[in-house]
Amino acid sequence: MSGLKGYYFNNTTLQKPSAHLRTDPQIGFSWLKEPAPTVNPDGFSVRWKGMLNPPVDGEYTFSTYSDDGVRLWVDDQLIIDNWTPHSPTTNVSKPVKLFEGAKYPITLEFYDQEGRAVIDLFWSYPGYDEDLIPSEAFTATKNYKVTVVTGNIDYSILDGSNVYLTLNGTLGVSAENYLEGSFPTGSKRDFDIDSTDLGNLESVHIRHDASKDTDWFLDKVIVKDEETGQEWVFSCGKWITNNPAITDPDKKLGRTLRPGDSSEPKGLRNGQIIGLKADNGVYLARTNSLKQAVVARVAAANLINDPSTHFEVVKLDGNKVALKADNGLFVAYEEDQASTFPPYRSVVAKASKVTQAAQFEAIVLDGNKIALKAVNEYYLARTEKKGNEFNDVVVARVRESSYANEPKAQFEVTVIK
């Protein structure tokens, strides 16, 4: 779309949130009243952003006519800076070398303190006298708010290495954006990325350059289109590192992530009947013995024909789910401290209604794998057979710091119907 994206603020400091958002074809305004119904008539500011498309090679001179403050960046270089209250004033840049066919980021900031608000943006170049920059010389950009979530995993901290993110959509690919700063354990970091309209986001690529010996466990990346409100969630749940001390065989310095909805874990939608496949290749099943324990010992070939492997999803708030067995009872975490034999914290199917102990937080991992977090903050896990005891019993005793690297705590979702 031609023009510049204008973010209008009801303050003189460009402080978010914006009060109005629109695409302005040209920057040539003289306002005696408010520039939009939701914007103050005085004491407002505007930031225009987009890409500049020079029509010829050559040296370009930019100028502004403003009342009050103005700043102009072209190709990320500040070339006009008069951020002061003043009467109508002309400011002129030094010549800037630009090339036909290239696209250059351009940002114009303006504030009005009181009275008439005036802002014009001109250019001149070889063979072309000074005039307002025309609409066709601009390509409007979108602002994407990017939230990077670092997992709450021991030894995961990224500090000193450079992090880069690229957005890929149906309408194009963004530049590779540098995400400045450190990423401590269990942190959320927000960034603003400006790009041309990318359409529906299909993937993000995130990497770091390992310039310092740091390990990073990335939980997810969330991207929001600030204009439309549309949000994409790119789950990761993996290490981004090349440190040989990290034993995960799938560790990498960069990952391409595809979107999923964090409020609707893959394969877990209300009323669906699913099977949950453990890392040993067999499915979870309800048994009539051992307090109707939930175990993992039904072969994949028997999944469809064995009702004890069928669990109905009852969707609760957020990522919470309950799993209803074929006998009408719910899978529940059960504390069994009275028992003289481990494992304690067993998982059974004998709750007649959804209690807190029957609510599990579903964490989406790569592909269609999930981890299930019990009310005691431990993750469900398959345990190995020890002699004649506990034949692949499923318990809840993998810690928060271990679930992502522990195959026994990762279950593959199979939708039955």
- Asked if pLDDT for residue 336 goes beyond 80, the answer is no
Judge whether residue 99 has pLDDT over 60: yes
pLDDT of 119 > 90? The answer is yes
Q: What is the mean pLDDT of residues 384-399?
A: 70
Q: In whole angstroms, what is the distance from residue 172 CA to residue 158 CA?
A: 29
pLDDT tens profile 228-252:
888 898 988 888 888 777 766 667 8
Q: DSSP letter for 174, please.
A: P
The angle at the Cα of 40, spanning 231 to 79, to the nearest 5 degrees, equals 75
Burial degree of 337 (CB within 10 A; 0-12, 13-18, 19+): exposed
> Please, which pLDDT band fits residue 267 given cuts at 50, 70 and 90?
low
pLDDT higher than threshold 50 for residue 318:
yes
Per-residue pLDDT at 352: 84
- Average of pLDDT values for 118-142? 95
User: CA of 53: how far to CAs of 74, 128, 135, 153, in Å?
Assistant: 11, 15, 10, 46
Nearest to 322 by CA among 332, 310, 334: 332
Question: Which two three-digit tokens encode residue 236?
Answer: 């990761």
Q: Which residues of 24-54 are buried (b: 16+ CB within 10 A; e: fewer)?
A: bebbebebeebbeeebbeeebbbbbbbbbbb
Angstrom distance (rounded) from CA 329 to CA 353: 7
Residue 34: predicted pLDDT:
94
Token pair for residue 357? 């102990």
Cβ contact 175:166 at 8 Å? yes
Q: What percent of the chain is predicted at pLDDT more than 70?
A: 91
pLDDT tier, 386 (very low <50, low <70, confident <90, very high otherwise): low
CA–CA dist 2, 161 (Å, integer): 37
Amino acid 264: pLDDT: 42
Mean pLDDT of 41-47: 97
Structure tokens at 18: 């914006």
Strand partners, 415: 274
Confidence of residue 70 (pLDDT cuts 50, 70, 90): very high
27-41, 104-118, 371-385: segment of lowest average pLDDT: 371-385
The answer to whether the beta carbons of residues 234 and 38 sit under 8 Å apart is: no
pLDDT score recorded for residue 39: 96
The listed range with the strongest mean pLDDT (112-116, 230-234, 397-401) is: 112-116
Residue 147, class by beta-carbon neighbours within 10 Å (0-12 exposed, 13-18 middle, 19+ buried)?
middle
* Assigned token pair, 276: 């949950």
Predicted pLDDT of residue 261 = 42
Rounded mean pLDDT, 194-220:
87
Mean pLDDT, rounded, for 383-411:
76
Q: What does the buried/exposed string (b/e) look like for 260-293 if buried means 16 or more CB atoms within 10 Å of the residue's CB?
A: bebeebbbbeeebbbbbbbbeebbbbbbeeeebb
pLDDT tier, 337 (very low <50, low <70, confident <90, very high otherwise): low
Residue 401 has pLDDT above 70, yes or no: yes
Contact 270, 314 (CB under 8 A): yes
What is the model's pLDDT at position 366? 66
- CA 224 to centroid of chain Cα atoms: 7
Q: In the numeric block, which tokens belong to residue 302? A: 């028997």
Between vectors from CA 376 to CA 371 and to CA 382, what angle results, nearest 5°?
45
Most confident listed range (7-21, 308-322, 367-381): 7-21
pLDDT, tens digit (0-9, with 9 covering 90-100), for 154-186: 666 777 789 999 999 988 898 899 999 889 888
Amino acid 396: pLDDT: 79
Domains detected in the chain:
4-140 (3.90.182.10), 142-257 (2.60.60.20), 273-415 (2.80.10.50)
Q: Would the pLDDT of 263 be above 50?
A: no
φ, ψ dihedrals at 116, nearest 5°: -65, 135
